[in-house]
Amino acid sequence: MEKCYCCQKELSKDDIGLCKKLLGKKIKQFFCREHLAEILDTDVEVLTEKIEQFKEEGCTLFL
Ligand SMILES: [Zn+2]
């Protein structure tokens, strides 16, 4: 189970997929939605919307 690099929170499949999608598939550090929002200078709600969007597009990272 991957954990957030910042707060050690255990990550869901969606969060891991989101990190890979936005930061690159080869990343070694993962972040929870909150910290990912901070890093990307955006909001948690925006990221949650993006997950839904990626799922609708059939992105394999979220299967
Ligand atoms: Zn975190």
- The residues spanned by each domain of the chain are 13-62
Cα 15 to ligand 1 centroid, rounded to whole Å: 10
The predicted pLDDT at position 1 comes to 84
CA dihedral 35, 49, 3, 27 (to 10 degrees): -90
2-52: per-residue pLDDT in tens? Answer: 999 999 999 999 999 999 999 999 999 999 999 999 999 999 999 999 999
Query: Considering the entire predicted model, what is its pTM?
Result: 0.92
The predicted pLDDT at position 63 comes to 82
Cα 53 to ligand 1 centroid, rounded to whole Å: 22
Cα 21 to ligand 1 centroid, rounded to whole Å: 17
CA dihedral for 51, 54, 55, 60, sign (positive or negative): negative
